[in-house]
């Protein structure tokens, strides 16, 4: 029942907004009384945050499932990027919940999306570090690499949602990774890598 409540809540909040959605509406969609919802979630805020968190867990699970079985590291990255874009397109309420959370609870240290991303980031940083040591990726800061790719996907998700972009997810993932892997400069124009300022 908890999962059904959260799924119904995610759709209701995305459709009507945090202020415009009551617990009774979520309960009515499920054909149960408000007391059933309150047994699981003591207030609307808890219900909203749990619904957002559930979508983030589902997103992470979908990405990991689609990456499983790929032995080639670059194929794993491609599958992960494609899975991310597909999931967000199939669940447009994800973006709506993220934006509503920021508006309704501006004092939170980190929004739900970034809390869940932080949990996954350590594994991605280790993955990129291994690829750098193996010579698959050029040496650099693996955390920087992971953050740039993650931010690129996040931005693509937002733009897709609000622009109604209809390009295939396969092409989007391919284009994003082509720029990430190959860059935009010709070999003759690259020159030396920019020097990073030492930390003070």
Residue bearing tokens 């980031």: 121
Bigger pLDDT: 194 or 80?
80
CATH class of 44-184: mainly alpha
Phi-psi label, residue 68: left if phi above 0, alpha if psi -120 to 50, beta otherwise: beta
Which two structure tokens, joined as six digits, stand for 37? 């919802």
pLDDT of 200: 52
Which residue has better confidence, 184 or 61? 61
Contact of 156 with 169, CB cutoff 8 Å: no
Of residues 28 and 143, more confidence is placed in 143
**pLDDT tens digits along 97-151:** 999 998 889 888 889 999 999 988 999 999 999 999 999 998 999 999 999 999 9
């Amino acid at each position: 029942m908890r999962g059904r409540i959260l799924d119904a809540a995610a759709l209701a909040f995305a459709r009507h907004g945090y202020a415009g959605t009551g617990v009774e509406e979520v309960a009515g969609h499920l054909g149960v009384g408000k007391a059933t919802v309150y047994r699981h979630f003591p207030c609307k805020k808890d219900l909203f945050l749990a619904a957002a968190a559930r979508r983030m867990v589902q997103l992470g699970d979908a990405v990991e499932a689609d990456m499983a079985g790929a032995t080639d590291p670059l194929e794993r990255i491609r599958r992960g990027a494609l899975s991310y874009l597909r999931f967000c397109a199939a669940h447009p309420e994800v973006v709506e919940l993220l934006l509503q959370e920021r508006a309704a609870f501006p004092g939170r240290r980190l929004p739900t999306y970034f809390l869940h991303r932080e949990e996954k980031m350590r594994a991605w940083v280790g993955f990129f570090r291994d690829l750098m040591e193996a010579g698959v990726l050029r040496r650099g800061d693996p955390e920087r690499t992971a953050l740039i790719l993650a931010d690129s996907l996040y931005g693509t998700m937002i733009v897709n949602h609000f622009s109604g972009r209809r390009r295939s997810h396969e092409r989007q993932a391919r284009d994003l990774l082509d720029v990430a892997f190959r860059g935009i400069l010709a070999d003759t124009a690259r020159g030396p890598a920019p020097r990073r300022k030492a930390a003070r």
